[in-house]
Amino acid sequence: MFPTRLIGPALLLLPLLATPLHAEEVTLKQAAVLKAERAAVALKAGTVVELLERDGETVTIKYKDLTGKIPASKLDEPKPTAAKPKPEGEPARPPQTGYGKAVQKAKDNAGAHDKNVVKPADEIMH
């Protein structure tokens, strides 16, 4: 017979064994439909999801509280080489809304203005 005093600690460890130790965050490079058990959700390109499992042509991902499968070709695979540094003045992705475009234009104009401003000299030239 199995001792009952060991069941309590074993039950506490069960959720740790059932959950993956490391879920990798990946970005969708194309729009995809996540087919979960009782729902289907359309995900836009650029959405960050958790990669749970790879299974040939499909991958199992988690988005918010939904877990399901999508084609592996929809993921933006991380490059094994060193990542290229992004230029500082350039946004990570272009703005999509009118407000975002206006803010970006204001930033660009402010940068152009700063380049055209004459800087005073510290010394007086004779």
Domains and CATH numbers, the chain: 22-76 (2.30.30)
Strand partners, 62: 50, 67
Return per-residue pLDDT of the chain as tens, 126 residues. Answer: 555 555 555 555 544 444 445 678 889 999 999 888 888 889 999 999 999 998 888 899 999 889 999 998 888 765 454 555 656 666 567 888 989 889 889 988 888 888 777 777 666 665
Model pTM?
0.44
